[in-house]
Structures are given as C-alpha cells and as structure tokens.
C-alpha cells in the first residue's frame, strides 16, 4: 500500500482495496488513498460482507463494496460500473436497512481517536492539526451522527460499526 501512495504520476482510475491487507488494513487505507486522490473511487473487496463492515467502508469514503463470494463476472461488472461513472454504488442488500453515514477521511480519523478517549489537544497533536480544526471536525462528526456529546458519538459509532 505504501508503494501505491508514493506514486507521483497521474492518479489511478480506481483503487481496489482488500480489507485484510498485510500491515495496514484496508479500512485504514481508504482514508490514506482518499486524502491523496479524493476523486478516485475506492472499491472495497472482502470475503467478509457483514453489514457493519459495509457501513464502515462506506462511511470512510469507499465508493462500493464487493464480496469475494460473488462470481468473477459480478466483481468485474462492479469494477466496470465504477470506472464508467465513478459514482458510489448502493450497498449490498444486507446493509441497506441502516442509515447512511458519510464522513470525510479526516473525520473518520478524528472519530477513531475520539473513541479512544483522546482530547482535542491530543487528537490535534496525533494528526498534526490545530485544535480549532479538530474542534470543527468533532462538531461535524457529532452533527453527522446526530448526537450532542463525544461519549454519545463514541457509542453511536460503535453501534453503527463505524469503529472497532
């Protein structure tokens, strides 16, 4: 994954990420790739297609999710569809029953650290941001999750499967 991120030529047409990658996992990779190439669609591929996994990938900015259980033709069709129009694909049926939460890659990072109990000051240090920027991201996360406190956000994020 680090080799792909060091690429300095033109951005790829599509990023295909497996959730189970050696070293950094695919969920964490979504934020890294979206930060480097925000307009490039990211398609998650996994043998696990639990609704929680799909919601987490979608919330982090994945344009689609495809299960390895699907046939090769189906996977190729999903890839071709994303290459044609680049717009996000509807989640698999199992995940459709839940509210769609869309967070930016940076908001996902802030949410993860918030769920670890870090203060805005510590989150700012960890992510090399100003405290004001972190405060803004925390407020955006609270708004997106429709909660009014950090503890409610952490609880909601775990309930929705947005964090582990």
Shared domain for 87 and 123, answered yes or no, is: no
Asked if 12 and 40 touch (Cβ cutoff 8 Å), the reply is: yes
Q: Tell how far CA 106 is from the center of its chain.
A: 10
Angle between helices 131-145 and 150-160 (to 10 degrees): 60
Catalogue the E-assigned strands of the chain: 15-18, 42-46, 64-67
- Of 56, 72, 95, at which residue does a domain stop? 95
How many domains does the structure of the chain reveal?
Answer: 2
Asked if 61 and 31 touch (Cβ cutoff 8 Å), the reply is: yes
By residue range, what is the domain housing residue 61?
2-95
Sign of the alpha-carbon dihedral angle for 13, 19, 23, 28: positive
Note whether residue 19 is domain-resident.
yes
158 or 129: which carries more pLDDT confidence? 129
- Of 45, 77, 95, at which residue does a domain stop? 95
Shared domain for 22 and 53, answered yes or no, is: yes
pTM equals 0.56
Shared domain for 9 and 66, answered yes or no, is: yes
Shared domain for 89 and 122, answered yes or no, is: no
Shared domain for 6 and 83, answered yes or no, is: yes
What confidence tier does 95 reach under pLDDT thresholds 50, 70, 90?
very low
Predicted pLDDT at 137: 94
Predicted pLDDT at 78: 83
Note whether residue 100 is domain-resident.
no
Shared domain for 18 and 81, answered yes or no, is: yes
CATH code at position 139? 1.10.10.10
- pLDDT per residue as tens digits for the range 109-143: 999 999 999 999 999 999 999 999 999 999 999 99
Asked if 3 and 17 touch (Cβ cutoff 8 Å), the reply is: no
CATH code at position 75? 3.40.50.2300
- pLDDT per residue as tens digits for the range 23-79: 667 777 888 888 888 888 888 888 776 777 777 788 788 888 888 777 788 888 888
9 or 46: which carries more pLDDT confidence? 46
Shared domain for 91 and 30, answered yes or no, is: yes
Shared domain for 80 and 8, answered yes or no, is: yes
Shared domain for 59 and 131, answered yes or no, is: no
Shared domain for 88 and 128, answered yes or no, is: no
Shared domain for 75 and 120, answered yes or no, is: no
Predicted pLDDT at 96: 43
Shared domain for 139 and 66, answered yes or no, is: no
Whether residue 97 is predicted with pLDDT greater than 50 in this model: the reply is no
């Amino acid at each position: 994954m680090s080799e792909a991120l060091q690429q300095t030529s033109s951005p790829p047409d599509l990023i295909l990420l497996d959730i189970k990658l050696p070293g950094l996992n695919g969920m964490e990779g979504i934020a890294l790739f979206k930060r480097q190439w925000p307009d490039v669609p990211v398609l998650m591929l996994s043998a696990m297609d639990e609704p929680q996994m799909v919601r987490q990938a979608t919330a982090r900015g994945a344009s689609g999710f495809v299960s390895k259980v699907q046939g090769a033709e189906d996977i190729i069709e999903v890839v071709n569809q994303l290459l044609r129009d680049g717009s996000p694909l509807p989640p698999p049926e199992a995940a459709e029953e839940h509210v769609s939460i869309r967070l930016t890659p940076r908001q996902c990072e802030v949410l993860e650290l918030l769920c670890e109990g870090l203060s805005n000051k510590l989150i700012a240090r960890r992510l090399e941001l100003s405290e004001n920027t972190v405060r803004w991201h925390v407020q955006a996360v609270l708004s997106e999750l429709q909660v009014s406190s950090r503890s409610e956000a952490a609880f909601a994020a775990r309930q929705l499967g947005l964090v582990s």
